[in-house]
């Protein structure tokens, strides 16, 4: 694939909203104040959390950009943005959440590793693009099938960005083929966010959106779609984003004993207040007085 490159340093980063709460600068990881999460049903693009593992990729020539569909398929294919836009456009409103969201609160119970997110590694957006199920039909994979004609059972997405966890290789993740071929699952190859073209922070020119699944599987800056027999063996599928019982710690962890995390448990958080708020003397009694009346 050409036309999209991963810089070797952080000198070409995009501008960001000044109100974002920054967890790390290089790579850039930040989220909005809690109040921004409830200010509107759809999270503004500038305030949507930014989760990165390396420098933000740069598009040099959109006309040369291609995403390859390969692996266990009978008809490997390379698609341009023009090819993808010819497919029927679908709109999906979906919430994305980093699997590490609320890690700061978790660490108060037991120390965990990773970016110290408060509660704002989450956002709701309106995504536009082609359904993955329609794209896979172009390489001979029928809808609602769980196994490709050549035995593929999983769909691996690879990004153009390079991350240290993959030893300089691309970021990768996968979902089961049956989920990818199910139109009702609404998995998208998205090129729009809130009615506008994706910006660089959120995956320009093309990313995956997997509704109802942790954000780690919605790969940005898409480079290839690989049909494989087993789930992706990348770092973020096999050595991160897995759930373990309290008896497991960093000294005795065995990553192979747990499946990669996909969906999320139901949770809630108060966003009208920050983590620590001060109430003036007498205010609490005043509030209780009115509640009893």
Residue 288 has pLDDT above 70, yes or no: no
Spatial contact of 177 and 152, defined as CB atoms under 8 Å apart = yes
Report the domain count for the chain.
1
Alpha-carbon dihedral sign for residues 203, 206, 208, 209:
positive
Domain ranges, residue 208: 4-292
Beta bridge partners of 123: 96
Spatial contact of 53 and 27, defined as CB atoms under 8 Å apart = yes
Q: What mean pLDDT is predicted for residues 185-203? A: 98
- Give the tens place of pLDDT for each residue, 67-119: 999 999 998 999 999 999 999 999 999 999 999 998 888 788 887 888 889 99
- Residue that wins the pLDDT comparison between 255 and 266: 255
Q: Which two tokens stand for residue 233?
A: 């063996």
- Give the tens place of pLDDT for each residue, 170-184: 999 999 999 999 999
CATH code, 162: 3.90.420.10
Alpha-carbon 114 to chain mean position:
16
Spatial contact of 214 and 99, defined as CB atoms under 8 Å apart = yes
Q: Can you tell me the distance from the alpha carbon of 22 to that of 32, in angstroms, rounded to the nearest whole number? A: 9
- Give the tens place of pLDDT for each residue, 131-176: 999 999 999 999 999 999 999 999 999 999 989 899 888 999 999 9
Q: Which two tokens stand for residue 109?
A: 């119970």
Whole-model pTM: value is 0.91
Q: Can you tell me the distance from the alpha carbon of 13 to that of 24, in angstroms, rounded to the nearest whole number? A: 13
């Amino acid at each position: 694939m050409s036309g999209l490159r991963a810089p070797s340093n952080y000198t070409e980063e995009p501008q960001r909203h000044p109100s974002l709460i920054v967890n790390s600068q290089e790579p850039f990881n930040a989220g909005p104040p809690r109040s921004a999460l409830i200010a509107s049903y759809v999270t503004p693009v500038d305030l949507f959390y930014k989760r990165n593992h390396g420098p933000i990729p740069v598009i040099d020539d959109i006309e040369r950009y291609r995403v390859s569909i390969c692996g266990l398929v009978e008809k490997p294919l390379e698609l341009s943005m023009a090819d993808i836009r010819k497919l029927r456009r679908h709109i999906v409103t979906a919430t994305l959440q980093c699997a590490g969201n609320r890690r700061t609160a978790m660490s108060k119970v037991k120390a965990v590793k990773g970016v110290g997110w408060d509660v704002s590694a989450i956002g709701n957006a309106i995504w536009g693009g082609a359904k993955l199920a329609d794209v896979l039909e172009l390489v001979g994979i029928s809808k609602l099938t769980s196994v490709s004609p050549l035995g593929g059972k999983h769909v691996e997405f690879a990004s153009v960005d390079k991350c240290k966890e993959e030893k300089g290789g691309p970021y990768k993740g996968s979902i089961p083929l049956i989920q990818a071929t199910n139109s009702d699952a609404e998995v998208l190859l998205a090129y729009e966010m809130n009615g506008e073209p994706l910006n660089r922070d959120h995956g320009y020119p093309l990313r995956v959106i997997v509704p109802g699944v942790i954000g780690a599987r919605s790969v940005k800056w898409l480079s290839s779609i690989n049909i494989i027999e087993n789930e992706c063996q990348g770092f973020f599928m096999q050595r991160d984003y897995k759930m373990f019982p309290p008896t497991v710690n960093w000294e005795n962890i065995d990553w192979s004993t747990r499946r990669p995390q996909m969906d999320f448990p139901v949770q809630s958080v108060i966003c009208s207040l920050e983590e620590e708020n001060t109430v003036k003397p007498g205010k609490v009694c005043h509030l209780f007085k009115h509640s009893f009346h």
